[in-house]
Structure 1
Amino acid sequence: AFDRLHRDLQGNTAFVTVRSLTNETVAIRSKAIADVYFSSEAYDDYGPERERYGRFTSEQIADPRDWRIIAALALNGGDFEDFAAEDVERVRGWVTVSDAQLEALVADARLEPSQLETERAKAQDREDRLFALATETVWQFSTGVQRREVVVEEEALYEAFYPLTDFDGDILDGELLRLACEGRHRIIFINPVAIDYVSIPTQSFEDGQSSVVADGLDEMEAADAQVAASRTFPTRRGRTRR
């Protein structure tokens, strides 16, 4: 993340991209950037306004498969057929804290009864943040207004925002981004010049990219097969030749 951003900030691209261990692929409009602080782990802080970083979280999960499970948990329980049962339970136990677990801490004298509601609220807030990181696409306008959408169709998510990440936004030339959240039922057009940044769940974006690339390869193979078939014709003896 550091190498790419450090390089891109010294260039002349319309957007720069950052990928974090908190499952965020963030495309930032270059002209919306006032300053950027790079701080090592040995430095004292993350920047002059670190207390105001509302989206900052120390939750770092490198494995995209875990984020897929978190997204499935967030979306009404989700479909877990593609995951091993032990992985689902491991992630569920890490993400969610049940009332029974909190009450057990009280029973073991590891938590004061007076702290129960506070800890329950903290656990719920943490769960909500992780669910949001796994499912919500967020973009912010220059006015500070934010939009949040849960885009279930991963291909649509990738096709909407790949010009910002794959081509640094340089190919847009006045075009609007088209985000089909739920097919024809909900379509959003976004002016990339009007936004400061867009943050996309990395696992959804990458899965969408894989699907789009696979579909493209299938179409190319089908087209090649059709061309090959059109070049095959019968000879007088009933054989075929190319």
Structure 2
Amino acid sequence: MLQVQSLVKSFSLDSGEVRAVDDLSFSVSEKVVYGLLGPNGAGKTTTLRIILGLLEPDHGYTAVDGIHTTVDPIAVKSRLGFVSSNDGVYPWLSVREMLLYFGDLYAVDPDLAATRAEELAALMGIEHLLDRRAGTLSTGQRQRVTLVRGLIHDPPVMLLDEPTRGLDVVGVQTIFEYIGHLREAGKAVVVCTHRLDEAERLCDRFGLLHQGRLEYEGDLTELRQATGRDHLVDMFVDLMNSEAA
């Protein structure tokens, strides 16, 4: 469902050129939750922005559902759902109005969008909030609205960028349940996070990024065999210590 092939992206800074993504390749199939993991500055968000068509790579390409981002970026965007730690709700709209607005942006039939809004709101336990103004919601409620909004057009691929940042225990559990629903619904899911303990619980496969490079990839058993370590945190500590040495 998602293919990333030989991506390279560099940025020019006053101190010189920085390669944020360095020959990155991976793929994600349906019903797979792929953890694109690494510390801040590893290249995770840059990679997501390239997949979303917000940045052009210097080299390589991404494809969603067989469509290259550089060939038909609008078609690609219609097949992607995106959730980040920034909720971005429109405070003066009701939850229902905002969901239907996003459905319209994605050219979803209004009747279908209304049905999906009701079904997804029930799934996330916010059906009683549909006619409340979004600006009056609590942080946890806004988060659930954002999760529903990401699925209103039923995309085959979901991208989640640091989805648990700043959330309490209840909010984190909501994210876990949401990702479980995405897997059951047959989505291909990419989760970018530096919360490695959470990633071990969430993800089926992992790509360990360090300074833009994919250092290790596989399921947890494969990573343990490759590194000799049991936990992702220890694997990354070894990577960073090796780089410092």
Assess same fold via TM > 0.5.
no
- The higher radius of gyration belongs to 1
> TM-score, normalised to structure 1's length?
0.24
> TM-score, normalised to structure 2's length?
0.24
Q: Which structure shows the higher strand fraction?
A: 2
Higher normalized contact order (CA 8 Å, seq sep 6+, divided by chain length): 2
